[in-house]
Amino acid sequence: MKGFYALLAAVALIGGGAIWYGSRNAPGPAAPAAPVAGAALPVVTSDGFKGFTLGADSAPIEVTEYSDFECPFCASFATVQMPVIREQLIATGKVRWRYRDFPLPSHQYSRYAALAAQCAGEQGKFWEMHDQLFTNHQWAQTGKNPRSLFRDFAKAVGLDLDKYDACMDGQRYAGRIQASVQEGEALAVGGTPTFFVNGKRFDGHPTSDAFKSLVDGLTKQTKPRK
């Protein structure tokens, strides 16, 4: 009987110690972790989807953005620069903006956030969810499971929650996100945000002013001579 209690104490001690050690090193968003759908992705094939767009199809210039919802620079760009770009370049018909997912493996919940945005996109609310995820970016700093928060975002943008839940649980667009990552890697995207303007990599500092002057320059070049 003594041996039994000794074994019990040993299991409790080792297991409890391991849990204590795990909780001591966390929470922290910088801790390395597997992405949400990581190695367990059910599909990696693309459905040919090339990203959600903003702006007129007839716009002469297309900007493709490879972005990660958990990336702080992407959030800063989306909340500070993007509103000006939307107003001055997209709403005026000069630019069509294309968003591509590039969740970085070092970010714990970026793939899950990308899934949430794709599931919102399924109901025609991708950009609304995009804005929610970037505007309320505190979730990316806490390291806590954002499932409930993302569901609140889904509710706030008016999604049908049953459809949203089914989409998230089934990881319906995991393959699409993975395909976007692979396409980004093929274009040598290494960090986020990375931009391509009419297919050419934009290496400047991504500000609304920089995009405006680049777009103005390109528009002048492409205007037909009278």
Number of residues that bind another protein (CB under 8 A): 42
What is the distance between the alpha carbons of residues 30 and 79, in angstroms, rounded to a whole number? 22
**What's the Cα-to-Cα distance from 111 to each of 25, 117, 145, 176, rounded to whole Å?**
23, 10, 13, 11
Considering only 13-21, 56-64, 79-87, 196-204, which stretch makes contact with another protein by CB under 8 A?
A: 13-21
Ramachandran angles phi, psi of 66, nearest 5°? -95, 120
| Residues comprising the chain, all counted | 226
Site membership for another protein, residue 39 (CB under 8 A): yes
C-alpha R_g of the chain: 22
Which part of the chain contacts another protein (CB under 8 A), choosing from 70-78, 81-89, 138-146, 192-200? 138-146
Q: Does 178 interact with another protein (rule: CB under 8 A)?
A: no
Task: Report the half-sphere exposure of 209 (CA within 13 A, side-chain side).
Answer: 1
**Under rule CB under 8 A, residue 144 binds another protein:** yes
Interface with another protein includes 4 (CB under 8 A)? yes
Give min distance, CB of 87 to another protein, in A: 35
Residue 142 touches another protein, criterion: CB under 8 A = yes
Under a CB-based contact definition with an 8 Å cutoff, are residues 133 and 69 in contact?
Answer: yes
Q: Is 103 in the site for another protein (CB under 8 A)?
A: no
Beta bridge partners of 100: 66
DSSP code for 225: P
The residue from 2, 23, 57, 226 that contacts another protein (CB under 8 A) is 23
Give the interface with another protein as residue ranges (CB under 8 A). Answer: 1, 4, 7-8, 11-12, 15-16, 18-19, 22-23, 25-29, 31-40, 42, 108-109, 112, 142-147, 165, 168-171
